[in-house]
Amino acid sequence: MLNKKPGLLHNCRTREKSLHELSLTQNLIEIAEEHASRAGASAIKSITMKIGTLSGVIPDAIEFAFDVCTKGTIAEGASLEILHIPAVGQCRQCLEECRMENLTDACPLCGSFALDILRGQEMSFTEMEID
Ligand SMILES: [Zn+2]
């Protein structure tokens, strides 16, 4: 288990989608390699990460980038597990909590658009298995 590094991998707002995922994935692998070498590991067997449904990150693109970026690293051949974190918002008007599919969703109870996103915007490295 590793401590999360908040803010490191999320809230990048670029329109260059594939490049975006590629650099996020590179970042992720660098973090994993750093932790693995500190732990004296010779190989990374699997990496688990969380992707919020409102993070703007495309999981398929991450999986593709992962295969590309792990080539020649100690994470080559590692499996990637992605945990999808459903987005939840809270209405500022009536304080109702609701599932959010889009950033523009309204409160199902009172129809207000003033929702604070409680979770679902994050993308983070969660844990990994090493040898
Ligand atoms: Zn409401």
pLDDT tens-digit series, residues 76-114: 999 999 999 999 999 999 999 999 999 999 999 999 999
Say how many Å lie between the CA of residue 93 and the centre of ligand 1: 5
95, part of any domain: no
98, part of any domain: no
Say how many Å lie between the CA of residue 110 and the centre of ligand 1: 4
How far is the C-alpha of 47 from the C-alpha of 24, rounded, in Å?
14
Q: Hunting for tokens 């975006």 — which residue is that?
A: 20
Provide the residues around ligand 1 (an ion) whose CB is within 5 A.
Answer: 91, 93-94, 96, 107, 109-110, 112
What's the pTM value of the predicted model, to 2 decimals? 0.75
Query: Taking 60 as the threshold, does the pLDDT of residue 15 lie above it?
Result: no
- Per the structure, the count of domains in the chain is 1
CB 45 within 8 A of CB 89: no
CATH number of domain containing 46: 3.30.2320.50
Query: Taking 70 as the threshold, does the pLDDT of residue 2 lie above it?
Result: no
54, part of any domain: yes
Count Cβ atoms within 10 A of the Cβ of residue 119 and give its class: 0-12 exposed, 13-18 middle, 19 or more buried: middle
Say how many Å lie between the CA of residue 6 and the centre of ligand 1: 29
43, part of any domain: yes
How far is the C-alpha of 117 from the C-alpha of 121, rounded, in Å?
8
Say how many Å lie between the CA of residue 25 and the centre of ligand 1: 36
The DSSP H or E segment spanning 29 is helix 17-38
Say how many Å lie between the CA of residue 94 and the centre of ligand 1: 4
Query: Half-sphere exposure (CA, 13 Å, Cβ side) for 86?
Result: 6
93, part of any domain: no
Query: Taking 50 as the threshold, does the pLDDT of residue 4 lie above it?
Result: no
Which range marks the domain in which residue 81 is found? Answer: 17-86+120-130
Say how many Å lie between the CA of residue 59 and the centre of ligand 1: 30
43-88 residue pLDDT tens: 999 999 999 999 999 999 999 999 999 999 999 999 999 999 999 9
10, part of any domain: no
107, part of any domain: no
96, part of any domain: no
pLDDT of 16: 52
pLDDT of 19: 80
